[in-house]
Protein backbone atom coordinates (compact mmCIF):
# COMPACT_ATOMS: atom_id res chain seq x y z
CA UNK A 1 0.00 0.00 0.00
CA UNK A 2 2.61 2.39 1.15
CA UNK A 3 4.92 1.39 -1.65
CA UNK A 4 2.24 1.96 -4.22
CA UNK A 5 1.44 5.37 -2.83
CA UNK A 6 5.08 6.25 -2.85
CA UNK A 7 5.41 5.13 -6.44
CA UNK A 8 2.39 7.10 -7.48
CA UNK A 9 3.67 10.16 -5.73
CA UNK A 10 7.06 9.73 -7.32
CA UNK A 11 5.46 9.34 -10.71
CA UNK A 12 3.35 12.43 -10.24
CA UNK A 13 6.32 14.47 -9.15
CA UNK A 14 8.48 13.40 -12.04
CA UNK A 15 5.70 13.85 -14.56
CA UNK A 16 5.10 17.25 -13.12
CA UNK A 17 8.78 18.09 -13.27
CA UNK A 18 9.10 17.01 -16.87
CA UNK A 19 5.94 18.82 -17.86
CA UNK A 20 7.09 21.89 -16.02
CA UNK A 21 10.50 21.82 -17.64
CA UNK A 22 8.99 21.38 -21.05
CA UNK A 23 6.29 23.94 -20.61
CA UNK A 24 8.38 26.91 -19.64
CA UNK A 25 11.70 28.36 -20.54
CA UNK A 26 13.62 29.60 -17.56
CA UNK A 27 15.09 33.06 -17.85
CA UNK A 28 18.04 33.94 -15.70
CA UNK A 29 19.79 37.25 -15.46
CA UNK A 30 23.54 37.72 -15.66
CA UNK A 31 25.29 40.92 -14.55
CA UNK A 32 28.74 42.19 -15.20
CA UNK A 33 30.38 45.58 -15.46
CA UNK A 34 30.91 47.34 -18.75
CA UNK A 35 34.05 46.43 -20.57
CA UNK A 36 33.52 46.16 -24.25
CA UNK A 37 35.47 42.97 -24.88
CA UNK A 38 33.99 41.18 -21.86
CA UNK A 39 30.47 42.03 -22.89
CA UNK A 40 31.17 40.78 -26.39
CA UNK A 41 32.70 37.56 -25.10
CA UNK A 42 29.80 36.96 -22.76
CA UNK A 43 27.28 37.57 -25.53
CA UNK A 44 29.00 34.88 -27.55
CA UNK A 45 29.06 32.48 -24.58
CA UNK A 46 25.39 33.09 -23.91
CA UNK A 47 24.59 32.37 -27.54
CA UNK A 48 26.40 29.05 -27.37
CA UNK A 49 24.88 28.20 -24.01
CA UNK A 50 21.36 28.93 -25.19
CA UNK A 51 21.93 26.82 -28.27
CA UNK A 52 22.91 23.91 -26.04
CA UNK A 53 20.12 24.58 -23.53
CA UNK A 54 17.12 25.71 -25.54
CA UNK A 55 14.88 26.02 -22.50
CA UNK A 56 17.13 28.50 -20.70
CA UNK A 57 17.37 32.15 -21.62
CA UNK A 58 20.13 34.33 -20.24
CA UNK A 59 19.72 38.08 -20.07
CA UNK A 60 22.93 40.04 -19.72
CA UNK A 61 22.88 43.40 -17.94
CA UNK A 62 25.90 45.65 -17.61
CA UNK A 63 26.86 48.77 -15.65
CA UNK A 64 29.79 51.15 -15.61
CA UNK A 65 32.48 50.00 -13.25
CA UNK A 66 32.04 53.01 -10.96
CA UNK A 67 28.38 52.17 -10.29
CA UNK A 68 28.56 48.42 -10.51
CA UNK A 69 28.69 47.47 -6.83
CA UNK A 70 26.17 50.15 -5.99
CA UNK A 71 23.72 48.73 -8.45
CA UNK A 72 24.09 45.21 -7.10
CA UNK A 73 23.74 46.39 -3.54
CA UNK A 74 20.64 48.33 -4.53
CA UNK A 75 18.97 45.54 -6.43
CA UNK A 76 19.64 42.50 -4.27
CA UNK A 77 17.80 43.55 -1.11
CA UNK A 78 14.85 44.54 -3.31
CA UNK A 79 14.66 40.98 -4.62
CA UNK A 80 15.79 42.14 -8.03
CA UNK A 81 19.08 41.79 -9.75
CA UNK A 82 21.09 38.96 -11.19
CA UNK A 83 20.92 35.19 -10.74
CA UNK A 84 24.52 34.79 -11.78
CA UNK A 85 26.79 37.69 -11.06
CA UNK A 86 30.31 38.63 -11.91
CA UNK A 87 32.34 40.18 -9.14
CA UNK A 88 35.92 41.16 -8.51
CA UNK A 89 37.64 38.56 -6.35
CA UNK A 90 38.40 41.26 -3.78
CA UNK A 91 34.73 41.86 -3.16
CA UNK A 92 33.96 38.28 -2.18
CA UNK A 93 33.82 38.85 1.54
CA UNK A 94 31.53 41.82 1.20
CA UNK A 95 29.22 39.84 -1.04
CA UNK A 96 29.21 36.81 1.24
CA UNK A 97 28.56 38.79 4.39
CA UNK A 98 25.81 40.82 2.69
CA UNK A 99 24.25 37.48 1.66
CA UNK A 100 24.29 38.45 -1.99
CA UNK A 101 25.78 35.13 -3.08
CA UNK A 102 25.41 31.51 -2.01
CA UNK A 103 28.00 28.72 -1.75
CA UNK A 104 28.47 26.85 -5.02
CA UNK A 105 26.34 23.69 -4.84
CA UNK A 106 28.73 20.80 -4.19
CA UNK A 107 26.99 18.45 -6.62
CA UNK A 108 27.85 20.63 -9.60
CA UNK A 109 31.12 22.11 -8.28
CA UNK A 110 32.99 19.65 -6.05
CA UNK A 111 35.79 21.49 -4.18
CA UNK A 112 38.32 18.75 -4.80
CA UNK A 113 37.90 19.06 -8.56
CA UNK A 114 38.21 22.83 -8.37
CA UNK A 115 41.45 22.55 -6.46
CA UNK A 116 42.84 20.03 -8.90
CA UNK A 117 42.05 21.91 -12.10
CA UNK A 118 42.32 25.61 -11.35
CA UNK A 119 45.30 27.82 -10.55
CA UNK A 120 46.00 27.92 -6.80
CA UNK A 121 45.08 31.62 -6.54
CA UNK A 122 41.47 30.49 -6.90
CA UNK A 123 41.58 29.12 -3.39
CA UNK A 124 40.95 32.70 -2.28
CA UNK A 125 37.32 31.99 -3.17
CA UNK A 126 37.00 29.40 -0.40
CA UNK A 127 35.32 30.26 2.90
CA UNK A 128 34.83 27.62 5.60
CA UNK A 129 35.36 24.78 3.16
CA UNK A 130 32.85 26.10 0.64
CA UNK A 131 33.69 27.68 -2.68
CA UNK A 132 31.58 30.73 -3.43
CA UNK A 133 32.71 31.67 -6.90
CA UNK A 134 34.77 30.57 -9.88
CA UNK A 135 36.73 32.57 -12.42
CA UNK A 136 36.63 32.08 -16.13
CA UNK A 137 39.91 33.85 -16.51
CA UNK A 138 42.75 35.30 -14.53
CA UNK A 139 44.84 38.34 -15.33
CA UNK A 140 48.32 39.49 -14.63
CA UNK A 141 50.24 42.63 -15.44
CA UNK A 142 52.76 43.27 -18.15
CA UNK A 143 54.59 46.11 -19.78
CA UNK A 144 53.12 47.41 -23.02
CA UNK A 145 55.50 49.39 -25.16
CA UNK A 146 55.12 51.44 -28.30
CA UNK A 147 57.57 50.15 -30.90
CA UNK A 148 57.31 53.28 -33.03
CA UNK A 149 58.28 55.58 -30.16
CA UNK A 150 61.10 53.18 -29.22
CA UNK A 151 62.44 53.37 -32.72
CA UNK A 152 62.19 57.15 -32.84
CA UNK A 153 64.23 57.33 -29.66
CA UNK A 154 66.90 55.12 -31.15
CA UNK A 155 65.94 52.06 -29.16
CA UNK A 156 65.56 48.58 -30.56
CA UNK A 157 61.83 48.06 -31.00
CA UNK A 158 62.20 44.40 -30.13
CA UNK A 159 64.14 44.78 -26.90
CA UNK A 160 61.90 45.95 -24.09
CA UNK A 161 63.48 46.86 -20.73
CA UNK A 162 64.32 43.86 -18.56
CA UNK A 163 65.06 45.61 -15.29
CA UNK A 164 63.63 48.64 -13.53
CA UNK A 165 66.86 50.55 -14.19
CA UNK A 166 66.50 49.88 -17.89
CA UNK A 167 62.88 50.91 -17.66
CA UNK A 168 63.87 54.29 -16.26
CA UNK A 169 66.60 54.69 -18.84
CA UNK A 170 64.26 53.86 -21.71
CA UNK A 171 61.59 56.14 -20.28
CA UNK A 172 64.03 59.04 -20.18
CA UNK A 173 64.97 58.43 -23.79
CA UNK A 174 61.39 58.27 -25.02
CA UNK A 175 59.91 61.23 -23.15
CA UNK A 176 59.15 64.18 -25.41
CA UNK A 177 58.65 67.76 -24.29
CA UNK A 178 57.94 71.08 -25.94
CA UNK A 179 60.16 74.13 -25.60
CA UNK A 180 58.55 75.17 -22.33
CA UNK A 181 59.13 71.74 -20.86
CA UNK A 182 55.53 70.60 -21.13
CA UNK A 183 55.16 66.91 -21.71
CA UNK A 184 54.10 65.96 -25.21
CA UNK A 185 54.67 62.26 -24.91
CA UNK A 186 55.35 60.30 -21.75
CA UNK A 187 58.15 57.80 -21.28
CA UNK A 188 55.90 55.78 -19.05
CA UNK A 189 52.33 56.44 -17.96
CA UNK A 190 51.74 57.17 -14.30
CA UNK A 191 48.24 56.11 -13.43
CA UNK A 192 48.10 54.99 -9.83
CA UNK A 193 44.36 54.37 -9.74
CA UNK A 194 44.74 52.40 -12.96
CA UNK A 195 47.08 49.43 -12.49
CA UNK A 196 50.07 51.23 -10.96
CA UNK A 197 48.85 50.75 -7.46
CA UNK A 198 49.03 47.01 -7.97
CA UNK A 199 52.40 47.36 -9.65
CA UNK A 200 53.74 49.29 -6.68
CA UNK A 201 52.22 47.05 -4.01
CA UNK A 202 52.84 43.60 -5.43
CA UNK A 203 55.86 44.22 -7.65
CA UNK A 204 57.99 47.22 -6.70
CA UNK A 205 57.47 46.77 -2.98
CA UNK A 206 58.32 43.07 -3.06
CA UNK A 207 61.30 43.68 -5.32
CA UNK A 208 62.65 45.97 -2.62
CA UNK A 209 62.26 43.22 -0.06
CA UNK A 210 58.97 44.34 1.46
CA UNK A 211 55.51 42.88 1.68
CA UNK A 212 52.20 44.76 1.59
CA UNK A 213 50.48 42.77 4.33
CA UNK A 214 51.38 40.22 6.96
CA UNK A 215 51.03 36.55 6.01
CA UNK A 216 47.61 36.29 7.63
CA UNK A 217 46.57 39.44 5.75
CA UNK A 218 45.42 41.06 8.97
CA UNK A 219 48.13 43.69 9.31
CA UNK A 220 49.42 46.39 7.01
CA UNK A 221 53.16 46.03 6.57
CA UNK A 222 53.97 48.33 3.68
CA UNK A 223 54.93 51.24 5.91
CA UNK A 224 58.48 49.95 5.94
CA UNK A 225 61.89 50.84 4.63
CA UNK A 226 61.14 48.88 1.47
CA UNK A 227 57.81 50.69 1.20
CA UNK A 228 59.44 54.11 1.31
CA UNK A 229 62.15 53.07 -1.11
CA UNK A 230 59.73 51.69 -3.68
CA UNK A 231 57.26 54.53 -3.31
CA UNK A 232 60.05 57.07 -3.74
CA UNK A 233 61.30 55.26 -6.81
CA UNK A 234 57.81 55.40 -8.29
CA UNK A 235 57.18 59.03 -7.34
CA UNK A 236 60.58 60.03 -8.71
CA UNK A 237 59.44 59.02 -12.16
CA UNK A 238 57.43 62.23 -12.02
CA UNK A 239 59.21 64.25 -9.32
CA UNK A 240 62.82 63.87 -10.40
CA UNK A 241 63.03 62.23 -13.78
CA UNK A 242 59.84 63.72 -15.18
CA UNK A 243 59.31 60.78 -17.50
CA UNK A 244 55.64 60.53 -16.64
CA UNK A 245 52.92 62.70 -15.20
CA UNK A 246 49.81 61.77 -13.29
CA UNK A 247 46.73 62.80 -15.25
CA UNK A 248 48.56 63.12 -18.55
CA UNK A 249 45.86 62.54 -21.19
CA UNK A 250 43.47 61.89 -18.30
CA UNK A 251 44.25 58.17 -18.16
CA UNK A 252 47.31 56.05 -18.78
CA UNK A 253 45.57 53.76 -21.22
CA UNK A 254 44.26 56.75 -23.18
CA UNK A 255 47.77 58.16 -23.46
CA UNK A 256 49.19 54.88 -24.67
CA UNK A 257 46.40 54.31 -27.13
CA UNK A 258 46.84 57.79 -28.55
CA UNK A 259 50.53 57.07 -29.14
CA UNK A 260 51.47 59.59 -26.48
CA UNK A 261 53.26 57.22 -24.12
CA UNK A 262 56.13 54.89 -24.88
CA UNK A 263 55.32 52.46 -22.08
CA UNK A 264 52.41 51.62 -19.85
CA UNK A 265 51.79 48.93 -17.30
CA UNK A 266 48.44 47.34 -17.70
CA UNK A 267 46.59 44.07 -17.45
CA UNK A 268 45.88 41.38 -19.98
CA UNK A 269 42.29 42.62 -20.06
CA UNK A 270 43.52 45.67 -21.97
CA UNK A 271 44.57 43.58 -24.95
CA UNK A 272 41.15 43.88 -26.51
CA UNK A 273 41.13 47.68 -26.33
CA UNK A 274 44.74 48.02 -27.56
CA UNK A 275 43.99 45.57 -30.33
CA UNK A 276 42.21 48.39 -32.17
CA UNK A 277 45.32 50.55 -32.37
CA UNK A 278 46.27 51.10 -35.99
CA UNK A 279 48.68 54.01 -35.82
CA UNK A 280 51.62 52.07 -34.40
CA UNK A 281 52.87 48.63 -33.46
CA UNK A 282 53.17 47.68 -29.85
CA UNK A 283 54.72 44.86 -27.91
CA UNK A 284 54.27 43.17 -24.56
CA UNK A 285 56.96 42.21 -22.09
CA UNK A 286 57.11 40.75 -18.61
CA UNK A 287 57.27 43.37 -15.89
CA UNK A 288 60.88 44.48 -15.43
CA UNK A 289 62.75 42.64 -12.72
CA UNK A 290 64.66 44.41 -9.98
CA UNK A 291 68.38 45.02 -10.47
CA UNK A 292 69.12 41.76 -8.67
CA UNK A 293 66.71 39.85 -10.88
CA UNK A 294 63.74 39.56 -8.55
CA UNK A 295 60.42 39.18 -10.31
CA UNK A 296 56.97 39.74 -8.92
CA UNK A 297 53.55 40.32 -10.39
CA UNK A 298 49.97 40.88 -9.43
CA UNK A 299 47.26 38.46 -10.41
CA UNK A 300 43.63 39.27 -10.12
CA UNK A 301 40.48 37.87 -11.50
CA UNK A 302 36.79 38.33 -11.83
CA UNK A 303 34.65 35.49 -10.67
CA UNK A 304 31.16 34.36 -11.36
CA UNK A 305 28.89 33.42 -8.50
CA UNK A 306 25.31 32.35 -7.99
CA UNK A 307 23.32 34.92 -6.04
CA UNK A 308 20.94 34.13 -3.22
CA UNK A 309 18.04 34.99 -5.51
CA UNK A 310 17.45 31.91 -7.68
CA UNK A 311 15.71 28.81 -6.34
CA UNK A 312 14.21 25.73 -8.00
CA UNK A 313 14.49 25.65 -11.78
CA UNK A 314 16.23 29.03 -11.87
CA UNK A 315 18.91 27.72 -9.53
CA UNK A 316 19.37 24.67 -11.74
CA UNK A 317 19.68 26.93 -14.77
CA UNK A 318 22.14 29.16 -12.93
CA UNK A 319 24.26 26.12 -12.01
CA UNK A 320 24.32 24.99 -15.62
CA UNK A 321 25.26 28.45 -16.82
CA UNK A 322 28.05 28.88 -14.30
CA UNK A 323 29.42 25.44 -15.16
CA UNK A 324 29.35 26.37 -18.81
CA UNK A 325 31.24 29.64 -18.47
CA UNK A 326 34.02 27.85 -16.59
CA UNK A 327 34.62 25.12 -19.16
CA UNK A 328 37.96 25.04 -21.01
CA UNK A 329 36.05 25.91 -24.18
CA UNK A 330 34.64 29.08 -22.61
CA UNK A 331 38.11 29.95 -21.32
CA UNK A 332 39.71 29.72 -24.73
CA UNK A 333 37.01 31.97 -26.15
CA UNK A 334 37.56 34.42 -23.31
CA UNK A 335 41.30 34.43 -23.99
CA UNK A 336 40.79 35.12 -27.66
CA UNK A 337 38.15 37.81 -27.19
CA UNK A 338 39.16 39.55 -23.98
CA UNK A 339 42.78 38.52 -23.67
CA UNK A 340 42.34 37.18 -20.16
CA UNK A 341 44.13 33.98 -19.30
CA UNK A 342 42.35 30.68 -18.70
CA UNK A 343 41.84 29.92 -15.03
CA UNK A 344 42.31 26.21 -15.59
CA UNK A 345 45.97 25.29 -15.72
CA UNK A 346 45.71 22.78 -18.55
CA UNK A 347 43.70 25.19 -20.67
CA UNK A 348 46.20 27.95 -20.04
CA UNK A 349 49.59 26.39 -20.35
CA UNK A 350 49.50 24.98 -23.79
CA UNK A 351 52.66 25.18 -25.82
CA UNK A 352 50.94 27.56 -28.18
CA UNK A 353 49.81 29.94 -25.48
CA UNK A 354 53.16 29.98 -23.68
CA UNK A 355 55.04 30.90 -26.84
CA UNK A 356 52.51 33.47 -27.92
CA UNK A 357 54.23 36.88 -28.18
CA UNK A 358 51.37 38.57 -26.36
CA UNK A 359 49.88 35.95 -24.03
CA UNK A 360 53.28 34.48 -23.16
CA UNK A 361 54.52 37.26 -20.85
CA UNK A 362 51.22 37.32 -18.97
CA UNK A 363 51.12 33.53 -18.57
CA UNK A 364 54.71 33.32 -17.39
CA UNK A 365 53.89 35.92 -14.75
CA UNK A 366 51.23 33.70 -13.22
CA UNK A 367 53.97 31.57 -11.71
CA UNK A 368 55.33 34.43 -9.61
CA UNK A 369 52.11 36.36 -8.99
CA UNK A 370 50.39 37.39 -5.80
CA UNK A 371 46.69 38.02 -5.51
CA UNK A 372 46.13 40.67 -2.89
CA UNK A 373 43.42 39.68 -0.44
CA UNK A 374 41.19 42.71 -0.28
CA UNK A 375 38.54 43.06 2.37
CA UNK A 376 37.05 46.21 0.89
CA UNK A 377 38.74 46.85 -2.43
CA UNK A 378 37.11 50.26 -3.01
CA UNK A 379 38.08 51.64 0.38
CA UNK A 380 41.58 50.19 0.25
CA UNK A 381 42.10 51.54 -3.23
CA UNK A 382 41.01 54.99 -2.05
CA UNK A 383 43.60 54.84 0.73
CA UNK A 384 46.46 54.19 -1.68
CA UNK A 385 45.12 56.77 -4.09
CA UNK A 386 45.14 59.38 -1.33
CA UNK A 387 48.63 58.29 -0.39
CA UNK A 388 50.13 58.87 -3.83
CA UNK A 389 48.21 62.14 -4.15
CA UNK A 390 49.75 63.39 -0.93
CA UNK A 391 53.19 62.49 -2.21
CA UNK A 392 52.79 63.90 -5.72
CA UNK A 393 50.45 66.82 -5.13
CA UNK A 394 51.42 67.92 -1.65
CA UNK A 395 55.05 66.81 -1.59
CA UNK A 396 54.55 64.71 1.47
CA UNK A 397 57.52 62.57 2.44
CA UNK A 398 57.10 58.95 1.31
CA UNK A 399 57.54 57.47 4.77
CA UNK A 400 54.98 59.83 6.28
CA UNK A 401 52.56 59.11 3.45
CA UNK A 402 52.93 55.38 4.01
CA UNK A 403 52.38 55.76 7.74
CA UNK A 404 49.26 57.81 7.15
CA UNK A 405 47.97 55.28 4.63
CA UNK A 406 48.65 52.41 7.02
CA UNK A 407 46.81 54.28 9.74
CA UNK A 408 43.82 54.63 7.44
CA UNK A 409 43.89 51.11 6.06
CA UNK A 410 44.51 49.13 9.24
CA UNK A 411 41.06 49.97 10.70
CA UNK A 412 39.46 48.73 7.48
CA UNK A 413 41.19 45.38 7.97
CA UNK A 414 40.43 45.36 11.70
CA UNK A 415 36.76 46.06 11.18
CA UNK A 416 36.58 43.14 8.79
CA UNK A 417 38.58 40.53 10.69
CA UNK A 418 36.94 41.29 14.00
CA UNK A 419 33.56 40.22 12.64
Alpha carbon dihedral 267, 268, 272, 276, in 10-degree steps, equals 70
Q: Which of 7, 18, 258, 354 binds another protein (CB under 8 A)?
A: 258
411 binds another protein (CB under 8 A): no
Stretch that binds another protein, among 120-128, 148-156, 198-206, 250-258 (CB under 8 A): 250-258
418 binds another protein (CB under 8 A): no
Stretch that binds another protein, among 43-51, 174-182, 324-332, 365-373 (CB under 8 A): 174-182
Q: Which of 211, 323, 378, 400 binds another protein (CB under 8 A)?
A: 378
183 binds another protein (CB under 8 A): yes
191 binds another protein (CB under 8 A): yes
415 binds another protein (CB under 8 A): no
For another protein, the closer of residues 158 and 182 by Cβ is 182
Cβ neighbours of 129 (radius 10 Å): 8
Stretch that binds another protein, among 129-137, 300-308, 382-390, 409-417 (CB under 8 A): 382-390
Whole-number minimum distance, CB 183 to another protein, in Å?
7
Stretch that binds another protein, among 109-117, 130-138, 321-329, 381-389 (CB under 8 A): 381-389
277 binds another protein (CB under 8 A): no
For another protein, the closer of residues 261 and 315 by Cβ is 261
- Per CB under 8 A, contacts with another protein among 70-89 are 70-71, 73-75, 77-78, 80
43 binds another protein (CB under 8 A): no
* Number of residues in contact with another protein under rule CB under 8 A: 51
Query: Under the rule (CB under 8 A), what is the footprint of another protein?
Result: 34, 36, 61-67, 69-71, 73-75, 77-78, 80, 98-99, 178, 180-184, 191, 193-194, 245-251, 253-254, 257-258, 260, 273, 279, 378, 382, 385-386, 389-390, 393-394
Amino acid sequence: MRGLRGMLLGLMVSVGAIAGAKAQTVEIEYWQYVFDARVKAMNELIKRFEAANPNIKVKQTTFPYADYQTKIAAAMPAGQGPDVVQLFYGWLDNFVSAKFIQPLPRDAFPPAAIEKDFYPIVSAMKRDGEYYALPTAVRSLALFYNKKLFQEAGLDPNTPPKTVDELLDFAKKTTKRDGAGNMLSAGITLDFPGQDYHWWRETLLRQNGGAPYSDDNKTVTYNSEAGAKSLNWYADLQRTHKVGQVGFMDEGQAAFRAGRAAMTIDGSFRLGAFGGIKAFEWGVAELPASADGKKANFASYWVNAITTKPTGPKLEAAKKFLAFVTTPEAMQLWLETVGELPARKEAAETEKNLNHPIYGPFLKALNYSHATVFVDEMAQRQVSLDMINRVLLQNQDAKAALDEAAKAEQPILDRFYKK
